Amino acid sequence: MKMIIRWFSGGDDSVTLEQIRQIPGVSGVATMLSDIPVGEIWPQTRLEALRDEIHAAGLELEVIESVNIHEDIKKGLPSRDKYIKNYCKTIENLSKIGVKCLCYNFMPVMDWARSNLAYTLEDGSTAMAYDHDEILKMNPSMIAEKMLSDSKGYSLPGWEPERLKLMSADIDFYQNMTMEQYWENLKYFLDAVIPYAEKYDIKMAIHPDDPPFSIYGLPKTINNVENIRKFLSLNSSPYNGLTLCAGSLGADMNNDVPAIVSEFASTGRVYFAHIRNIKHLEEKVFTETAHLSTCGDLDMFKVVKAFHDNGFDGYIRSDHGRMIWGEQARPGYGLYDRAIGANYLLGLWEAIDKSSPKK
């Protein structure tokens, strides 16, 4: 297991590599080139410079989060082949700088969604929060506007400006698409890309839908145990696997997160783990919290033990953190709370590892 931290390159992060290097037990970062428009090839020279910068700080770059997928691929348009070809070329380029795992998602129109990026918790810290009714009351461009204006000038991963203009039209487009068609579009992508992942030895790790239930009638695929089973059977290559995000899946109160971790970690097809906690105020209304079990609904001991006892050997990152101690940072991605979270998770891992042998 390797503990890593997400970091945004190109001056788009308040957190520095030097700071990350000083978090005990953290060996590397997950990052991306956020200025390359979705669908275009990530240039080799840019990637080499990125690798050199991270290595010079004494950290590893083995995980990319994310190479986002062009909407035409999700829509199944004829132009998808061009974008898939670019995706495969990016995989080749990533392999040349030593990347081992690629996290991506297949959410239509928008990546993750929250109704509030700075909800005040009891202790005075702020965290991102989700209220389903509030989301439905806003139209998508209102959400986009609100999220971007609350993001303190940082780009929000998955909310690329070029996507936002098309949001309403894209949402309309999916109203006429069946779930089966959407699954077929996902399979088409996998069948085209996975052979390149195999060739270049990069594990493809899909991120669950966040939230894991439909908004605006959009299709959802990676949101519960049945659908994750279905996803893995679409393409049975060991290079077709998962990013298992505890907080995303935990946002559906029907999901038993430790059981989901056990089932899929034991298949050896979980390559990346995002571990964070959330607290429900009611169904489909939740706030993100500190990682500790007592702060949220998820039992982190059970979650980490499920990874450990099922032989998980991939990358873990503490996921979204709260904003604490007056830190000014991209919502969810400050230094302090994620560093605390990473060390809590490392502590759990060490205790579990020293007291129980691996399966």
Selected binder of ligand CS2 within 108, 158, 219, 258 (CB under 6 A): 158
Looking at the Cβ atoms of 113 and 348, the one nearer to ligand CS2 is: 113
Least distance (Å) from ligand CS2 to the CB of residue 248?
A: 7
Binding mask 229-258 for Mn ion (x = CB under 5 A): ----------------x-------------
- The CA-atom distances, in angstroms, between 17 and each of 14, 55, 57, 80, 103 are 10, 10, 6, 36, 20
Q: How buried is 56 (Cβ within 10 angstroms: 0-12 exposed, 13-18 middle, 19+ buried)?
A: exposed
Looking at the Cβ atoms of 177 and 245, the one nearer to Mn ion is: 245
DSSP line for 224-280:
SHHHHHHHHHHS--TTEEEEEEHHHHHTSTT--HHHHHHHHHTTT-EEEEEE--EEE
Least distance (Å) from ligand CS2 to the CB of residue 128?
A: 9
- Site for Mn ion contains 291 (CB under 5 A): no
- Site for ligand CS2 contains 65 (CB under 6 A): yes
Of 354, 155, 83, 127, whose CA–CA distance to 247 is shortest?
A: 127
- Site for ligand CS2 contains 13 (CB under 6 A): no
Least distance (Å) from ligand CS2 to the CB of residue 111?
A: 5
Give the separation between CA 170 and CA 108, rounded to whole angstroms: 8
Least distance (Å) from Mn ion to the CB of residue 176?
A: 30
Give the separation between CA 340 and CA 336, rounded to whole angstroms: 6
Looking at the Cβ atoms of 104 and 174, the one nearer to ligand CS2 is: 104
Selected binder of ligand CS2 within 274, 284, 305, 308 (CB under 6 A): 274
Q: How buried is 297 (Cβ within 10 angstroms: 0-12 exposed, 13-18 middle, 19+ buried)?
A: middle
Binding mask 108-147 for ligand CS2 (x = CB under 6 A): ---xx-----------------------------------
- Is residue 5 helix, strand or coil? strand
- The CA-atom distances, in angstroms, between 270 and each of 129, 178, 258, 307 are 27, 28, 13, 9
Considering only 86-94, 225-233, 267-275, 281-289, which stretch makes contact with Mn ion by CB under 5 A? Answer: 267-275
- Site for Mn ion contains 274 (CB under 5 A): yes
Q: Which residue has the tokens 């083995």?
A: 62
Q: Which of residues 195-254 bind ligand CS2 (CB under 6 A)?
A: 207, 210, 245
- Site for ligand CS2 contains 66 (CB under 6 A): yes
- The CA-atom distances, in angstroms, between 330 and each of 33, 125, 127, 193, 252 are 16, 14, 11, 32, 25
Of 292, 286, 299, whose CA–CA distance to 318 is shortest?
A: 292
The secondary element (H helix, E strand) that includes residue 90 is helix 80-96
Q: How buried is 60 (Cβ within 10 angstroms: 0-12 exposed, 13-18 middle, 19+ buried)?
A: middle
How many Å is the maximal CA-CA distance in the chain? 54
- Site for ligand CS2 contains 307 (CB under 6 A): no
Q: Which does 105 bind (CB under 5 to 8 A by kind): ligand CS2, Mn ion, none?
A: ligand CS2
Looking at the Cβ atoms of 88 and 275, the one nearer to ligand CS2 is: 275
Can you give the length of the chain in residues?
Answer: 359
- Site for Mn ion contains 338 (CB under 5 A): no
Considering only 100-108, 167-175, 263-271, 343-351, which stretch makes contact with ligand CS2 by CB under 6 A? Answer: 100-108
Looking at the Cβ atoms of 13 and 72, the one nearer to Mn ion is: 13
Residues making contact with Mn ion (CB under 5 A)? 245, 274, 319
Please give the residue ranges that form the binding site for ligand CS2 (CB under 6 A). Answer: 65-66, 103-105, 111-112, 157-158, 207, 210, 245, 274, 319-320
